[in-house]
Each structure stands twice: as structure tokens, then as C-alpha cells.
Amino acid sequence: MEKTKLGISVALMGTLVCIAPLVGSSIPLIIIAGYILLRESDTWLKTTALKAVAIFFFFELLTIMIGFIPNILVWLENFIDLFDGIMDISIIRRIFNLIGSAITICERIFLSILAILALNKRSISVPFIDKIVKAHFSSSEEQE
């Protein structure tokens, strides 16, 4: 079984990088992924770290974009109120909060599956994320 420079298995380190955003936030993920990318030499581990970071930030960006919609509607409601109009966006706000919660649940499930597969040194294929990871990972490998 391959070991990292820290002395733990490569599969366990891959699992750790996938679980980091589930128990913390982006900070543990960035620290662990940064360590892997700077200090470790295993290609699978580096790819897994990049994939975990890409998946995490994809879902975070999606959540932020969905979060803007209720804010825009609040602005629109306040603008209409200036002219004595009536507009109630509470139901729309609840729908987008529900969508945001669903995105968070999907993110947690996705990262959990990635972590479970990482225990066996396997990975899932997400075409658009794999394409991004491959493009950026291969360019960093060629520079070394």
C-alpha cells in the first residue's frame, strides 16, 4: 500500500481531502489540497484533491448564484413599493431557499460518495469537472 509523506495511506489521504469540506468549510479543504499538491507525488491523489476542490467550489458558486435571485427580488419589491405597488415575494424566497438547501444536500452526497470511493483508491467521473481538472493538472505537470 502506497504511503504519503505523512505516513498514512494514499487512499486515506484522498478520503480526507474529500471529507474536509463536509466537516469544516473551504479552509480545511484548501489546506489539505494545498499540501497534497505541493508535497505529494502520487498522481491519483493530486487528481482527487483537484476534483474535490473543483466539486466544492462548483456547488458553492451554484449556491451563491441561486442566492442572488431572492436578493434581486427583494430589490424589485422595494422598488415597486416606492410607487405604492403591491408585490409579495415571500413564497418565491422560500422556493429559492429550498433550492439552495437541495444544492447543499447534493454537494454533501456527492463529496461523501467521492470520499467512500477514495477509500478504495477509485473515483467518480464527472465529465465537465474532469475536463477542468485534466486541463489544469496536465499543464502543471508539464511545467515541472
pLDDT in tens, 117-142: 999 999 888 888 888 878 877 644 44
Res 83 pLDDT > 70: yes
pLDDT in tens, 7-48: 999 999 999 999 999 987 889 999 999 999 999 999 899 999
Asked whether the whole model's pTM tops 0.85, one would answer: no
105: its cell numbers: 444536500
pLDDT band with cut points at 50, 70 and 90 for residue 143: very low
Closest by CA position to 100, among listed 52, 68, 137: 68
Contact 56, 110 (CB under 8 A): no
Which residue ranges make up each domain of the chain? 10-123
Please report, as a single letter, which amino acid is at residue 76.
L
